[in-house]
Amino acid sequence: MGISTIEEREKDLSKKMSRLKIYKKDIKETFIKSSGPGGQNVNKVATCVELVHVPTGIRVKCQIARTQNSNREKAKKLLVEKIEKKMHDQKQQLVNEKERLKRQNRKRLKAKQEEILQDKHRQSEKKETRKRIDFKNIEKYI
């Protein structure tokens, strides 16, 4: 597996973004001074990149590398992955909901319906025995 160039990685990322319908105009980009080790570079240069996808509200912050361009590339990749995961989760949730409704609305076998009805009757009889006895109207219980 060869080393891919920056242009190839950007091309792949832009293809993925267009497939997911993520537009550059929807991404708000800000640069912040990084924190942690790095010395003078960290203190003077805003290398930390924060990306916000406005329609979804997903926020990504990257300060892994020492250069702004590397952090920007990594932040875009993280943002696309998060948006992709969110879309996948939403699709999966819709599929699960459809399956649940399908199971809920299916017809039951006659034998199963009878069994459920008998269980309900047994449960109601159990509850009937737990009621308080009204000693004023004891004739009702005898």
Alpha-carbon gap, residue 119 to 113, rounded angstroms: 10
Closest CA to 78 of 63, 90, 89: 63
Closest CA to 55 of 88, 20, 102: 20
Q: Is-contact 58 82, C-beta < 8 A? A: yes
Domains and CATH numbers, the chain: 6-103 (3.30.160.20)
Alpha-carbon gap, residue 121 to 56, rounded angstroms: 50
pTM of the entire predicted model: 0.65
Q: Is-contact 66 41, C-beta < 8 A? A: yes
pLDDT of 47-83, one tens digit each?
Answer: 889 999 999 899 999 988 888 888 999 999 999 999 9
pLDDT of 77-118, one tens digit each?
Answer: 999 999 999 999 999 999 999 999 998 888 878 888 899 999
